Each structure stands twice: as structure tokens, then as C-alpha cells.
Chains A and B, each alone.
Chain A
């Protein structure tokens, strides 16, 4: 019963936050609403008994991905007024797509697609979800899991290769060379005579003391 109440609280906030993401005028608010939506989704996962998935969502999406979004929005000057100009022209297509999705969803539910499916992890077994995920991830789904990892790696390397460019004008730091530098390489000890001046004595090898 308390779970129902909490579900209404988190689910309701999630929906409102989702609405905020697409309606807020300020892009900064959009990202923060998205973070709020993620946090509420985490709470819903925890309510269902899938703590690991929930915390993973928080760590990956809130801790890393949304931070990157925030960075992009903070550093790039996006004019959202220009982006939103075409709203009215694209509205019919968007509305059509949304209606189609809704009809499909209703048809799927009416057709009994979800009727036999367990709705909470605890209906399947009482082991913690982290153990169950580990059990199937590294046995039945080992190959797909590895493939996904490989695809992500390729995507990462690809994006770096595409955006990276050598800039010869940039002075690079060579840490090894900096550390390998010794006192003798860059410093000469001299004992200049009074009135002779340092510069002169430096250039005269006779005056250099070892």
C-alpha cells in the first residue's frame, strides 16, 4: 500500500519531469528536468526490487551522460528559438506518429503481449538482481554482451579518429624529457670576477668552474 503511494509519487514526478524536458524554454532546465526524471526512474526500479539496475541508471545516465549534456549546453551557445521555429510545420507528422504509437501500444496490451510476463523481479526468483543479471549475462548472453562491448569500442575509436586532428602549432608536453632533464644540461656554475660581468664570463670557457 505504501509502495502504491510511493509509486504514484515517483511515477507522477517522472511524468512531470519528462514533460518539463520537452516544454522548458531554457535548455539548462531541460537537462535538469531530465536528471530529475532519471532519479525518479531509479526510485521506481528500487520499488520493483531491481536495485542494481536502478543504481546503474543513476551512475551511468546521471553521473556521466547527463553531465556531458550539461557540458555541451553550458559551453555551446544554442539558439533554441531558431530550433523551435519549425514546430508548427512538423506538428501534423509528429502528432500522427504519436497517435500510431499509442494505437500500437493499446493493441499490444489488448492482444495480451504483457499478460504472461512477470512484472517484478521478485516474481522470477528471490536472488538479488545483480546475481541474476550476472548469471545470464556471462552464460546465455556472453557473445551478444561481448559484441555490444566491441561495437561501443569501435564507435568510440571511430568518433575519436573522425574528430581528432594533429595541430603542429600546439606545443606538446613531453613528460619523459622534462623528468630526464638534469641540472648539468641547463645550468652552468660560474664565479665571475668583480667588475667583469656574468655574461662575459659565461661565454669564456676558461672561467667556467666544474
Chain B
């Protein structure tokens, strides 16, 4: 009884308001994010359409703006099918394993000065660690579907994500070395004078290439190469499980764009310290920069043909990894020399 009353004592007004407030903040981040995912698909279809001299979605609502909503409703009302020979538990768990890491990573992203859900010291490591969980969802989906194409897609995707995670980690290390902190807000404030993408420009490019590969986007979208693998790891999925894969992939894109903005493009900071720019809220700058990086994602998709698998692996292991490693050592050396001078 003592034991119980001890724990019942935890239910105080302070604790309840704290939990309720945190839940409110979580919803405040997650709901706009899901909306952003929906309209990212719209932006993708529109932008790639214009680049290919087409119109993109036009007929659902004004300028086709209702298209993502129509798509979502359609997916919701479809029947959820589970293949007979599949492993049911893992088959259903897999899409959740893709979506959840993409959502919980947002806890450490600073939207504005002090606007961050969890201002932890190791924010960068948390993000890297959590986003490395996403690969499980894909591998589980490929295995549980018990079918050839999903399996091949999952194996490709897993190998690709593990390979490029190393180059990605090295790029992040360079930024941490420059900022001297692993706190996301700290990295942003360290860029007040000069955004990181100027002194670390080659690393910035390597990072962009790595996040393209990490999110399985074109030109590295081998896991879902339509022509060879039909659609890769999610062939057997339909309805809401498929929608969760889709949400996870696009939420990951937005997450990686936000990560790029924090690491290289000065987070919520305005480009110049001018009164006019300072008057714009930091959240607007942050969102605008994310939109810019997302545009790069779409732009590359419309521009480049898909890489061959051996080319992908060569780029990751033989070019990006040695380059970032050498840069890291060189940067450490230069920083030490400048310190002593």
C-alpha cells in the first residue's frame, strides 16, 4: 500500500500541467509537420511538372491544392490487405518503425531562439542515433513481405543507408568541431557571424549528397527503382500502412532539410543583421530555409538520372568517406594552428 501511495503522490497539479503542456507542444510540432508532408508531395508534383513543361495536379480545388487531401482520403478508405505468406506482426510493425523515428527526431530541432522541445546537450547525437533506427522499418518490411522485389529493395536500401550514414556522420563532426558544441541551438548561435556553409562549403555539398542518399531520394532512389523493383520494399503494402511509409519518407526529407539548415544555413538567424531582416520572426526564416533545401531535393530529382548500384557504393565509400575524413583532420589541424597563433 505504501508503495502505491508513494507513486500516487506523483500525480500533482504541477506534474499534470507539465505532461499536458509537453503533449501540447508535441502536437504543435507533429500536426503542422504532417500538413507540411502533404503539401510537400503537392510541391513535388507541381515543381517537377513545371520543370518538365507539364502542369502537375490541376483539377482538385484551386490550382489543384486539394490534391494531397484527396489522396489522403483515398488512402484512408482503401482496404488494408496483408499477404497470406507474410509475417503479420513484423509486417504491421514495419511502417510504424519508419514513421516514428522520423517524428521523434523533431524533439531536438530548434525552430527559433529557445523554441525547442528538448534542449539537450547532445542534440546532434540524438538526431543521428534516432534517425539510424529508420532503416529497421525498411528491412523489416522487405523481410516480412516474403516476396522477391520488396526483399531486394530492402537489402539495397539498408546497405545504402548504412554506407552513407558514415559520410553523413563525418560531415556533422566537422560542424561540431567548428561550433564546439553538440547542442542544436548552440550550433545555430555559433553561426551568428558567418554561416557554416561558407567556411565548410565542400562539406556542405558532401552533406547534401549524403542526405539525398540517406533519405533514398533521386538520384539515389535505388530501393524503389520502378523499372527494376516495381517499387521496392513497399510493393506489398497498400492503404494506411503504405501511407505511413510515404509519410515517413517525406517527414525524413523535411527532417534532414531542417538538420541541414541548423548545421550549415544558420537555423533561425536572418541572412544579414539588418533591422528589416531582424523584424521577420525566426520561425519564418527557418521555414524558408527548409523550403530552399527541399527545393534542392526536388530539383535533383527532376535533373539527374538514377545512379547504378556500384556507382552509388563507390561514391559513398571511395569518394565521400575519405574526403570528409581528410577534411576533418585538416580542419582540426588548421583550427589548432589558428588557436596558437
Q: How many residues of A contact B (CB 8 A)?
A: 27
Residue on A with the closest CB to B133? A62
B139 touches A128 (CB 8 A): no
A52 touches B122 (CB 8 A): yes
Main secondary structure of the interface of B (DSSP, over half): helix
Main secondary structure of the interface of A (DSSP, over half): helix
B90 touches A173 (CB 8 A): no
Q: Within 8 Å of chain B (Cβ to Cβ): is A47? A: no
The residue from B130, B132, B139, B314 contacting A175, defined by CB atoms under 8 A apart: B314
Annotate A169-187 by CB proximity to B: 1 below 8 A, 0 otherwise. 0000101000000000000
Given contacts A63-B133, A173-B310, contact A1 B7 (CB under 8 A): yes
Tell me how many residue pairs across A and B have CB atoms closer than 8 Å.
76
State which residues 36-89 of A face B: CB under 8 Å. 42, 51-52, 55-56, 58-59, 62-64, 67-68, 70-71, 74-75
Chain B CB count within 10 A is highest, among A5, A64, A67, for A67
| B7: chain A residues within 8 A (beta carbon) | 1, 5
B155 touches A74 (CB 8 A): yes
Q: Within 8 Å of chain B (Cβ to Cβ): is A17? A: no
A70 touches B128 (CB 8 A): no
Q: Within 8 Å of chain B (Cβ to Cβ): is A28? A: yes
A58 touches B162 (CB 8 A): no
| A26: chain B residues within 8 A (beta carbon) | 87
Q: How many residues of B contact A (CB 8 A)?
A: 33
Q: Within 8 Å of chain A (Cβ to Cβ): is B303? A: no
Expressed in whole angstroms, the Cα–Cα distance for A63 and B154 within the complex equals 16
A62 touches B132 (CB 8 A): yes
Q: Within 8 Å of chain B (Cβ to Cβ): is A2? A: yes
Q: Within 8 Å of chain B (Cβ to Cβ): is A202? A: no
Annotate A110-137 by CB proximity to B: 1 below 8 A, 0 otherwise. 0000000000000000001010000000
Q: Within 8 Å of chain A (Cβ to Cβ): is B151? A: yes
Expressed in whole angstroms, the Cα–Cα distance for A67 and B122 within the complex equals 23
B135 touches A51 (CB 8 A): no
Q: Within 8 Å of chain B (Cβ to Cβ): is A30? A: no
The residue from A32, A51, A75 contacting B90, defined by CB atoms under 8 A apart: A32
A51 touches B6 (CB 8 A): no
Residue on B with the closest CB to A51? B122
Distance between A80 CB and nearest chain B CB, rounded to angstroms: 15
B129 touches A58 (CB 8 A): yes
Q: Within 8 Å of chain A (Cβ to Cβ): is B236? A: no
Q: Within 8 Å of chain B (Cβ to Cβ): is A35? A: yes
The residue from A2, A51, A52, A64 contacting B162, defined by CB atoms under 8 A apart: A64
State which residues 118-157 of B face A: CB under 8 Å. 120-122, 125-126, 128-130, 132-133, 135-136, 139-140, 142-143, 151, 154-155
Given contacts A5-B7, A62-B132, A74-B151, contact A67 B158 (CB under 8 A): yes
Expressed in whole angstroms, the Cα–Cα distance for A5 and B9 within the complex equals 13
Distance between B333 CB and nearest chain A CB, rounded to angstroms: 16
B122 touches A130 (CB 8 A): yes
Q: Within 8 Å of chain A (Cβ to Cβ): is B1? A: no
Residue on B with the closest CB to A74? B143
Expressed in whole angstroms, the Cα–Cα distance for A28 and B93 within the complex equals 13
B182 touches A1 (CB 8 A): no
Chain A CB count within 10 A is highest, among B129, B182, B310, for B129
Distance between A145 CB and nearest chain B CB, rounded to angstroms: 16
Using A58-B132, A128-B121, A130-B122 as known contacts, list a sample of 6 further A-B pairs with CB atoms less than 8 Å apart, ordered by residue number in A.
A28-B90, A42-B129, A51-B121, A58-B130, A63-B133, A67-B135
B-binding residues in A (CB < 8 A): 1-2, 5, 26, 28, 32, 35, 42, 51-52, 55-56, 58-59, 62-64, 67-68, 70-71, 74-75, 128, 130, 173, 175
A-binding residues in B (CB < 8 A): 6-7, 9-10, 87, 90, 120-122, 125-126, 128-130, 132-133, 135-136, 139-140, 142-143, 151, 154-155, 158-159, 162, 165, 182, 310-311, 314
Q: List 5 A-B contacts (CB under 8 A).
A: A5-B7, A55-B129, A59-B129, A130-B182, A175-B314
